[in-house]
Structure 1
Amino acid sequence: MLQTVRGKIKQNEFGICAAHEHLSIDLSRIKKDPDTILDDEAGMESELHHFYQAGGRSMVELTNEGMGRDVQRLKRLSEVTNVHIIACTGFYKDPFIPDFAQKWDRDAFALYFTKEIEEGIQNTGIYPGVIGEVGTSVNEIKPVEKELIIGAGKAALATGLTVTTHTSLGTMGVEQVNMLFDLGVPKDQIIIGHQDLNTNKDEVLDVLRAGVYIGFDTIGKTNYRPDEDRIAFLLDFIERGYHKQILLSADLTRKSHWKKHGGPGYDLVLQGFIPKLQEHGVTNDVIQDMLINNPAHAFSIKER
């Protein structure tokens, strides 16, 4: 089963999934940029309709507390668009962790996340379906981030929910895996995010060899890396047999990413990226794994 904002659903109901997205978000406290505020609910609805028309049926929304989380809005959007939405519990990374949690240790993080998973988010009656996105900095893991990742792992063990992470520019993925493995978190309960941003193929392969899921989830963000380079890596990983561990998404976080503001919209993976993979000979079975089967398994609640 998977936990959505409208309740639990079966894996075969999940459909084509965008595995790492943001609909309602506010990063302006840190970024000081109004483009990083998504608060237009009618706009969100319109963007989700485009996603649905392209074949999208589910979305994992990883805006957590400190990033502008609004799970009641997500429920309204899910009800009106019929897109399954998974909400999250978690904190992002330094410096986005809320002030009240900056000094917490792993047990405090674990307790907070577990409470939301078991009792619902802030008296809304809405339950998170994933722990995330919990993250680390570029080429380093700050002390509070270490406590955060380990706390998320402890909550995963206690509840059966998957941990999905943020890696800044794709770095520190192996270190995240090792921290979670040291706790005993199973590999099918771990998603290491943003691995399409890491230009060091050997580091990404090390993450894949560990058996965990990875996010190729900043597709279309060509200011970081050309999509042609993403495709080249992805084709190699598929050739090596790792396609059952890969999740796809675009991680939209700005007004300028939306169609109504001239951006590509949440359907960019389905409308632009998938056809390019097909041109390179990627089979429908492999595409179905990355878009449907892998997310359904990755975000399912695991037996404890």
Structure 2
Amino acid sequence: MSVWPEESDVSELITTLGAYDREDLGLILPHEHVFVDLGPMAAANWTDADPDDVVDVMAPEIERARAAGVTALVEATPEGVGRRVDVDLAVSEAAEFPVVVPTGIYQEPKIPDWAREASEDDLYEWLLSELTEGVEDTGVRAAWIKVSTDDDDPTGLSADEAKILRAAARAGADTGAAIGIHTLHGGVVHQQLDVIEDAGYDADRFIWIHAQADDADHHEAVADRGAYVEYDWIGGDDQDDERYLDLIERMLDAGHRDRLLLSQDRGWYDPSEPGGGQQRPYTYLPETFLPKLRERVGEGTVTRLTQDNPFDAYAR
């Protein structure tokens, strides 16, 4: 049974601090990390992390982002890489800054054993509960669904990845929640879109995360199907701003102004590293990249790409 009204003229972005209307927010970073465990799963470093330690490190990073004009950010850490919504909430409350958190499960080989053993129906019920009732005992509802596919396999989804995606599509269809998928191979994205459409959901609620990892021809083809295309390594050590500027202009020229998202995949406190590791500030996009983009495409387009599009993508 659907819990999402078939027609509504009100969209809200669900965050750690409650639901926000479009008018409440400005620049939104649609793919960042507050807390993520990139160490071995068996070590389970995320389980013992003290929220206060994370607050001490990450609240100042959030403050720097706010000073640079950021009004909200999307946490992109799912189960399998150390999701801790209680930690996200602690940082959010300390900084008085809204964070958008996901439900969902990461890729091979980091799919948790409980998810491998669960049926598609079990996973659907779990996703639906986190989207409508809240994550564990945090009181925070997940706003969207984050899933993934194996970076080293360009041929398609594993059986467990496909099962998770089908459950995600069903939960998305019942709530209006976006499905964001970490995928490095453009050909696989079309398979994923086929899966969610076969399960009864819509391509326009699909976000291709890390699209910049594959050829731009795939970007246009995926956007032609109605999905969002996200460039989210902007400011990375081996990334070239000119390449991103050219990619953005190509997508704009192809008529995909409303299907493009920009972010950095930055921040994060990693509990597998001493003191949380080395953080990467959230400020590169607003302070360094967007001034270059404004010179090319104008203020109105920048506003569309950094305010309206991320709100439309993640709100429900």
TM over 0.5: yes
Take 1:274 and 1:31, find their aligned partners in 2: how far apart are those partners?
40
Matched, 1:62 2:73: no
Which residue does 1:52 correspond to in 2? 66
Q: Against the structure 1 CA distance between its residues 98 and 180, is the aligned structure 2 distance closer, same or farther, given a 3 Å change threshold?
A: same
Query: Are 2:32 and 1:21 equivalent residues in the alignment?
Result: yes
Cα distance between partner residues in 2 of 1:288 and 1:253: 23
Match of 2:127 among 110, 113, 134: 113
Secondary structure of residue in 1 paired with 2:197: helix
Aligned-residue CA RMSD (Å): 2.4
Q: Residue in 2 aligned with 1:12? A: 23
1:290 maps to which residue?
Answer: 305
* Matched position secondary structure for 2:79: coil
Identity percentage of aligned residues? 27
What's 2:235 paired with? 220
Query: Is the alpha carbon distance of 1:234 and 1:143 closer, same or farther for their aligned partners in structure 2, counting shifts above 3 Å?
Result: same
Question: Amino acid of the residue matched to residue 190 of structure 2?
Answer: V
By how many angstroms is 1:262 displaced?
7.1
Structure 2: 5+ residue runs without aligned partners?
A: 1-11, 271-275
Task: Could you tell me which runs of 5 or more consecutive residues in structure 1 were left unpaired when the two chains were aligned.
Answer: none
| Preserved CA contact (<8 Å) 1:20 1:61 | yes
Cross-structure match for 2:160: 144
Q: Does structure 1 residue 278 correspond to structure 2 residue 294?
A: yes
Structure 2 matches for 1:91-106, cutoff 5 A? 91-106=105-120
Q: Is the 8 A contact 1:217 1:251 kept in 2?
A: yes
In the aligned structure 2, how far is the partner of 1:246 from the partner of 1:44? 28
Q: TM-score, normalised by structure 2?
A: 0.84
Calculate the TM-score normalised by the size of structure 1.
0.88
The aligned residue for residue 153 of structure 1 is 169
Could you tell me how far 1:94 is from its partner in structure 2? Answer: 1.1
Structure 1 distance, partners of 2:169, 2:55, is 33
Q: Is the 8 A contact 2:258 2:304 kept in 1?
A: yes
Cα shift readout 1:259-291 (whole Å, capped 9, x = no counterpart): x98765111111121122123x21111110111
Question: How many residues are matched?
Answer: 291
Aligned ranges 1:138-287 → 2 under 5 Å: 138=151, 139=154, 140-168=156-184, 172-198=188-214, 200-223=215-238, 225-252=239-266, 264-279=280-295, 281-287=296-302
CA distance in 1: counterparts of 2:73 and 2:280, whole angstroms: 16
**Residue 83 (structure 1) shift:** 2.1
Asked if residue 77 in structure 1 is aligned to residue 84 in structure 2, the reply is no
Q: Secondary structure of 1:266's partner?
A: coil
